[in-house]
Amino acid sequence: MSARFTVLDLLNLDLREHNALELVCLGGRPGLEREIAVPDLNRPGLALSGFFENFGSDRVQIFGRGETAYLHQLDKERRTDTIEEIFRHPVPCVIFTHQQRPTDSFFEIAERGNCPILQTSLPSSEFSSRLIRALSNVFAAREVVHGTLVEVFGLGVLLLGDSGVGKSETALELIERGHRLVADDSVQIRCVAGNILLGQGAHRSLGHHMEIRGLGIINVTHLFGVGSIRDSKQIQLVVELEEWDNGVDYDRFGEEESTTEILGVHVPDARIPVKPGRNIPIIIETAAMNERLKSMGYYSAKEFNQSVLKWLESENARKLYLRGYRPFDESAEPEEE
């Protein structure tokens, strides 16, 4: 991630429904510009008890019911040394779950250190899982590619190729056939969880628009309805469109499995030559269905090869049998060709 991600950015994340963090700021507003540098969380129970070895001070600190109850115990005993020691470290922020609030002494110490104090109504486990997902997305490796991303039979298909080869026109035909557009022209790809590539439009303000040469800019949502679009999709197949070259020997059997590497993740790919008379959208639909079959363990090319081998073996056995060769008769020898 190139830009700094601050506590204020965390508060302003546009997350909804099952991803919403429901965060509010209770104090320490001067520290909202503090940077969150790592996508990890820390429960500071050991630090509150005075053990600071390997203290994850660079992480967001989560205070659940247990930590909050211990804070109240420390407040009764008028012990604040461990709390003061916590805020001597570069803590990005502290977050209280279950809509709990810190003690007055904790609040004063955090305010003196300009450390933001946040609160959420969510339980600790649910909030932690949502925050980890959010930070994983923020810190995910990403790149922007020139292409078109569509969902075909539930598979995210990334269309690549030179400008003018027909990526947008092919996607338009796929949308007409009931599939969905994710992004056209510029696709932002993020690597999530180490091996999942998520694609979306690089410019959200432009929405689901397409540029069709000779026609101009069209709004896919207005023309085909909200059922024809989606905001993001995992990339599971890469299709490289290229002009037909009579001098190139294109794969006709599909025996070799080829992949394209994006952000360190290998994605199955297909190289489709384009020329007048070829129905590219139907070919892409077939490639998507074939890829789904492969994910279920069914390989058409391998099955075809096995069928051919069985047929050749059966033909040879039939010829030998008709010539009178008996495999268990030592006196019989197969006739030479």
> Measuring CA to CA, which residue among 126, 216, 218, 132 is closest to residue 181?
218
Question: Which one from 146, 177, 318, 326 is the annotated catalytic residue?
Answer: 146
As a whole number of angstroms, the distance between CA 104 and CA 80 comes to 11
Question: Which one from 9, 40, 58, 185 is the annotated catalytic residue?
Answer: 185
Q: Take residue 19 and report the two structure tokens written for it.
A: 């991803």
For residue 22, what are the CA distances in angstroms to 43, 122, 135, 311?
Answer: 19, 7, 15, 65
Collapse the DSSP code of 228 into the 3-class scheme (helix H, G, I; strand E, B; otherwise coil) and give the result.
helix
Question: Which one from 76, 81, 252, 329 is the annotated catalytic residue?
Answer: 252
As a whole number of angstroms, the distance between CA 63 and CA 80 comes to 16
Is 249 designated active site?
no
As a whole number of angstroms, the distance between CA 256 and CA 126 comes to 44
Question: Which one from 34, 142, 167, 233 is the annotated catalytic residue?
Answer: 167
Collapse the DSSP code of 18 into the 3-class scheme (helix H, G, I; strand E, B; otherwise coil) and give the result.
helix
Q: Take residue 249 and report the two structure tokens written for it.
A: 């020997």
Is 146 designated active site?
yes
Are 273 and 243 within 8 A, CB to CB?
A: yes
As a whole number of angstroms, the distance between CA 118 and CA 8 comes to 11
As a whole number of angstroms, the distance between CA 253 and CA 171 comes to 25
Is 98 designated active site?
no
As a whole number of angstroms, the distance between CA 163 and CA 242 comes to 10
Enumerate the β-bridge partners of residue 270. 239
> With 0-12 CB in 10 A as exposed, 13-18 as middle and 19+ as buried, what is 67?
buried
Are 174 and 150 within 8 A, CB to CB?
A: yes
> Which DSSP state fits 153?
T
Q: Give the catalytic positions in this structure.
A: 146, 167, 185, 252
